[in-house]
Structure 1
Amino acid sequence: MIAHIYGLSYVESDDLHLCRRLCAPSRAYSLVDSSQVSTFLISILLIVYGSFRSLNMDFENQDKEKDSNSSSGSFNGNSTNNSIQTIDSTQALFLPIGASVSLLVMFFFFDSVQVVFTICTAVLATIAFAFLLLPMCQYLTRPCSPQNKISFGCCGRFTAAELLSFSLSVMLVLIWVLTGHWLLMDALAMGLCVAMIAFVRLPSLKVSCLLLSGLLIYDVFWVFFSAYIFNSNVMVKVATQPADNPLDVLSRKLHLGPNVGRDVPRLSLPGKLVFPSSTGSHFSMLGIGDIVMPGLLLCFVLRYDNYKKQASGDSCGASGPANISGRMQKVSYFHCTLIGYFVGLLTATVASRIHRAAQPALLYLVPFTLLPLLTMAYLKGDLRRMWSEPFHSKSSSSRFLEV
């Protein structure tokens, strides 16, 4: 649900904690700015990393099934892992409606629910950032600690790497609550992006089109037309308003005195990536919904490329129509869609500069990712299979990909 609430638009903010209005970029200010370059690079890296983590999770689950069952099974892109959520057509259709309801609740009742929402966000961000740190912690603990799990009673069993990653994540969240620093908020937002891309699946191109088209309409309506109904840009207001710090609220509730817990700053919640410019005069901001939702499509096409490679025993797309050039056959769907995402993000940036107002990033990201993908799938002869056929592979000899 975090991704739904945080379907933000590409905007710029003058101040991280009090970003109540959009800044008007100077005419002399260059389009190539350090804050926007950082936004581009980080968003693309998060999508690539999250997609490969998702693919590796499929391979790990497949290996576990081999160990527990001697019979050979087919590779299933919709993994049987209970922690993985696959979106079906009905969920894809109703998700923008649920997101709109959540947005209205935050718009009208933010003051009433902000503390609860901040605590829930901090808990989810802790788990997500621990997931992001897990590969690094596994690498660090591998030489000096066995991978045996340690029992914690009813809490479950965990490896040393999992305990280390969770401890570091809790420490970072506590420092963020105490300081409210934008860099820590970005780190937590990155964890949320990677976790959602890795744990949520789009099973087919049909569901992908339904989901992204609905979210495009949702994004456009709440950015461009909500002001005519609610006399305020609902999306921008919800995205940018800071929340009361739980420590400050707790101090006031318990009457701990004016000097206890009162110096902590208000928190800008990690539903966006925020990067300062080289001059420090403004921040470039991109919502995690504009990373996660296209990222789910990138994750889907990466898994499909892997499926084709396993099924054909050769490079993906090698069995396409004879009138398609060999060079096009070598271009993967993942690379094509990733380039489309970059172009769409660049177009959203230019549009925000030209109009000097908030732009619904999905208005540009969805066409620039879906249309090249649909065109390439049609030319390669894969459109019918990608549209509705689930993932199946006759080969069970896939190897684990190191990220």
Structure 2
Amino acid sequence: MRSELWIILAVILLSYETEGQEAVLHVSDGNIQKDYCLVYNSSWFNVSTSLSDAVLYSLVNMTSSVLCNDSGLKPGSLKGAAVVVIDGSCNLSQKAQVAQEFGAEAIIITSVDAMRSSSISKSEHSNLTIPLALMRSQDFIDVLKVFSGNDTKVQMYAPPIPEFDFSILIMLVLAVFTVAMGGFWSGAAEREKLNARALSAGEDDSGGELSLYSPLKILLFVVLMCGMLLLMYFFYRYLVYVIIVIFCLASATGLYSCLKALLNAMGCSKLSVQCGERSCSVRNLMVAAVSITLAVVWGVYRNEDRWIWILQDLLGVAFCLNFMKTITLSNYKICVILLSLLLLYDVFFVFITPFFTPNGESIMVQVAMGPDAAGEKGSGDVVVPGDPSSSYEKIPVVMRIPRFAAWAQNLCMMQFSILGFGDIIIPGLLVAYCHRFDVWTGSSKIYYISCTVAYCLGMILTFVVMFLSKMGQPALLYLVPFTLITSGVLAWRRQEFKQFWAGTAYQVLDSTREPLLPGGDAEHPVTVRKC
């Protein structure tokens, strides 16, 4: 399972906010009213920002015609109407020009294919004075079923999207909670290990943990991460399923570990039963069944955006907690090397790679959002799937919270604020080390609390910069300096930097059991001492 944890970490991603050019088509007949998704180019056409100010049009169904010429039309026959025609046979501007000449006030073009705002270009609309929008064919079929009368009216409007969305606060709380609990769990496990070591006369009890201690291995690991990200970029459509399977396995394992630890902390009995010479814990079997079931449910319904994000976030939190408890950094030197290299990794693949990719898109964002999510990358080209029931595969190593204020966008497709697991796990490993150091030195959680607060402030700065720049940010750019500098300065002020840098004497390097600090005897247990 450790190898699965590393593969998941190798595709850690960043938070990214989306913007769109979606509008609402409000349809009513006096008794029934319903809203539908529209896509338009806000650079060339303006629509009202509220329903109360939107112009009321009579709906004219001309989907039996492509409207590429004036065949079958009488002068003024479309006066004051919003005309609906099908896509194809000629470009959009030609259809709109014909509709405008016959008095139409707006034109809506239905499409069975993905709808692109960039398909409405400036050169094509130079002679147009009426708004032009795109609509899913499936949605218009629904309009015809719901509104069968001749007195159907429509209004087009695009509600402004607030700069701030409440989902950001939820994301902040979720991230800080996960980091704080992961660090706390790691420190608590370290305390239990020390107590067990003392009772067993110095015998090692790693509890299944994996300690990182070698700078060379850290460097090799980061190089492998770069290679994994490049493979995901070039072979996304195949490797995404590998990541999905690994996430199901790793998240089920993480949820099992979290639930078992929670039940142990609550003092719940294991309800063991005897099976021959072996005992079986009914409680653990039930926990395993729940964990596996939730992971399988997520795997089956992973593209049901309306509700599956709740389960993905739950599994994601469990995965991150288990990772921070299982993977430990042996000293502050390793923390500095790992976090610094991953900071460079994050910045390079976000800000530098756009200069080398054919579409000018960063490799990190391309992998984070998926190659079919062009409309979600903030490039100005909004792409809405022609079939709302279909969805593209996305790698599941992100926390996702729906953007509650984006009503018009959510009609077209669910919009999310996302935060990569890496922006939680990587600083969380440092927070976990700080709590373990508190345990080693008996310093009343001062390192743990300070580093957690620094993480929170770093996240807040990330969101502030994101709002000011109106683009996604590599969160590690702010989280790494905040957490590293805070913990390092605290150790220096407490005159414990030498011990904080090197770790503790009982930490070991590898299977040879050589102590981390010089002067120890690899063949004999090293007693725990305060730094």
TM-score by length of 2: 0.58
Q: CA deviation at 1:368?
A: 0.8
1:355 aligned to 2:469?
yes
1:189/1:5 Cα in 2 relative to 1: closer, same or farther (>3 Å)?
same
Match of 1:168 in 2: 290
1:161/1:6 Cα in 2 relative to 1: closer, same or farther (>3 Å)?
farther
Q: Indicate which of 311, 332, 344 corresponds to 1:217.
A: 344
Amino acid at match of 1:60: E
**What stretches of structure 2 of length at least 5 have no aligned partner?**
1-5, 21-113, 118-158, 303-307, 373-388, 408-414, 507-525
1:285 aligned to 2:418?
yes
User: 2: distance between equivalents of 1:242 and 1:160?
Assistant: 45
Q: CA deviation at 1:207?
A: 0.6
1:294 aligned to 2:294?
no
Q: CA deviation at 1:333?
A: 1.5
Match of 1:237 in 2: 366
Question: How many residue pairs end up in the alignment?
Answer: 340
Match of 1:251 in 2: none
**Cα displacement string for residues 289-323 of structure 1 (whole angstroms, at most 9, x for unaligned residues):** 000000000000111112111xxxxx55xxxxxxx
Please list, as runs of the form range in 1=range in 2, the aligned pairs for 1:98-137 lying within 5 A after superposition.
Answer: 98-137=224-263
1:82/1:307 Cα in 2 relative to 1: closer, same or farther (>3 Å)?
closer
Q: Indicate which of 184, 209, 234 corresponds to 1:84.
A: 209
User: 2: distance between equivalents of 1:59 and 1:284?
Assistant: 37
- DSSP-derived class of the 1:285 partner: strand
1:382/1:279 Cα in 2 relative to 1: closer, same or farther (>3 Å)?
same
**Cα displacement string for residues 42-68 of structure 1 (whole angstroms, at most 9, x for unaligned residues):** 11111111122222322333444455x
Normalized per residue, the structure richer in helix is 1
Match of 1:204 in 2: 331
Amino acid at match of 1:7: I
Q: CA deviation at 1:113?
A: 2.6
User: 2: distance between equivalents of 1:391 and 1:186?
Assistant: 38
1:395/1:118 Cα in 2 relative to 1: closer, same or farther (>3 Å)?
closer
Q: CA deviation at 1:225?
A: 0.8
1:369 aligned to 2:483?
yes
Q: Indicate which of 447, 454, 471 corresponds to 1:340.
A: 454
Match of 1:45 in 2: 177
RMSD of aligned Cα (Å): 3.3
Contact 2:163 2:467 in 1 (8 A): no
- DSSP-derived class of the 1:12 partner: coil
- DSSP-derived class of the 1:11 partner: coil
Please list, as runs of the form range in 1=range in 2, the aligned pairs for 1:184-195 lying within 5 A after superposition.
Answer: 184-195=311-322
Contact 1:213 1:366 in 2 (8 A): yes
Amino acid at match of 2:332: L
- DSSP-derived class of the 1:7 partner: coil
User: 1: distance between equivalents of 2:424 and 2:464?
Assistant: 18
Deviating more after overlay: 204-213 vs 93-102: 93-102
**Cα displacement string for residues 106-151 of structure 1 (whole angstroms, at most 9, x for unaligned residues):** 11112233323322221111111211222344468825x53x4777
**What stretches of structure 1 of length at least 5 have no aligned partner?**
244-262, 310-314, 317-330, 397-403
User: 2: distance between equivalents of 1:58 and 1:41?
Assistant: 26
- DSSP-derived class of the 1:29 partner: coil
Normalized per residue, the structure richer in strand is 2
User: 2: distance between equivalents of 1:284 and 1:152?
Assistant: 52
Match of 1:142 in 2: 268
User: 1: distance between equivalents of 2:425 and 2:274?
Assistant: 33
Following TM superposition, where does structure 1 have runs of at least 4 consecutive aligned residues deviating by more than 6 angstroms? 149-153, 393-396
Higher relative contact order (CA 8 A, sep 6+): 1
**Cα displacement string for residues 354-393 of structure 1 (whole angstroms, at most 9, x for unaligned residues):** 2222211100000111112211211111111111142559
Amino acid at match of 1:233: S
Q: CA deviation at 1:162?
A: 2.2
User: 2: distance between equivalents of 1:84 and 1:152?
Assistant: 31
Amino acid at match of 1:188: L
User: 2: distance between equivalents of 1:216 and 1:268?
Assistant: 24
Match of 1:183 in 2: 310
User: 2: distance between equivalents of 1:286 and 1:109?
Assistant: 23
Q: CA deviation at 1:39?
A: 0.9
Contact 2:244 2:396 in 1 (8 A): no
1:28/1:182 Cα in 2 relative to 1: closer, same or farther (>3 Å)?
closer
Amino acid at match of 1:163: L
Larger Rg: 2
Match of 1:401 in 2: none
Match of 1:323 in 2: none
Match of 2:14 in 1: 9
User: 2: distance between equivalents of 1:228 and 1:355?
Assistant: 19
User: 2: distance between equivalents of 1:127 and 1:179?
Assistant: 19
Amino acid at match of 1:269: I
Contact 1:137 1:162 in 2 (8 A): no
Match of 1:322 in 2: none
- DSSP-derived class of the 1:377 partner: helix
Q: CA deviation at 1:157?
A: 7.1
Q: CA deviation at 1:269?
A: 3.5
**Cα displacement string for residues 273-300 of structure 1 (whole angstroms, at most 9, x for unaligned residues):** 1111333543211100000000000000
**Cα displacement string for residues 71-121 of structure 1 (whole angstroms, at most 9, x for unaligned residues):** 3x39xxxx7426211112222222221110010111111223332332222
1:173/1:197 Cα in 2 relative to 1: closer, same or farther (>3 Å)?
same
- DSSP-derived class of the 2:396 partner: coil
Percentage of pairs with the same residue:
24
Q: CA deviation at 1:27?
A: 8.4
Q: CA deviation at 1:228?
A: 1.0
Deviating more after overlay: 365-374 vs 105-114: 105-114
Contact 1:141 1:160 in 2 (8 A): no
Contact 1:304 1:391 in 2 (8 A): no
Q: CA deviation at 1:206?
A: 0.6
1:112/1:179 Cα in 2 relative to 1: closer, same or farther (>3 Å)?
closer
User: 2: distance between equivalents of 1:108 and 1:296?
Assistant: 30
Deviating more after overlay: 109-118 vs 375-384: 109-118
